[in-house]
Amino acid sequence: MSHEGFRFDDYYLWNSFWTSLNGGYIDMNYQWAFEQFWGKGAKPERIVLPKEDFDYLVERLQEPPDPAIVERIKNLMNRKAPWDDDYDD
């Protein structure tokens, strides 16, 4: 969108103008939606882990998953959904 000759009294273009400015409108809208859900002035939760706990978390994330759990998840994902027409149960 070219901003050359843009007039702020042209209300039809306001949305296009604000969304074209580096996505700033999206960030403003996200803050509004966050506060609408959690309440005015709410801040995102921050989780702080001690170094030992963080290192343990990273170790666990880098370990390969348990094959038995992987197989159970595969079976679960391959089941038909209850709202499918050919659901047998």
Q: Say what percent of the chain tops pLDDT 90.
A: 28
DSSP per-residue letters across 11-76 = GGGHHHHHHTTTTHHHHHHHHHHHHHHH-TT---------HHHHHHHHHHHHSPPPHHHHHHHHHH
**Six token digits for residue 31:** 């803050």
Residue 64 has pLDDT above 70, yes or no: yes
Q: Is 8 helix (H, G, I), strand (E, B) or coil?
A: coil
Question: What is the pLDDT of the chain when averaged over all its residues?
Answer: 77
**pLDDT tier for residue 8 given thresholds of 50, 70 and 90:** low
Q: Looking at residues 42-50, what average pLDDT do you find?
A: 85
Q: Looking at residues 51-69, what average pLDDT do you find?
A: 93
Q: Looking at residues 59-73, what average pLDDT do you find?
A: 92
Q: What is the pLDDT of residue 38?
A: 84
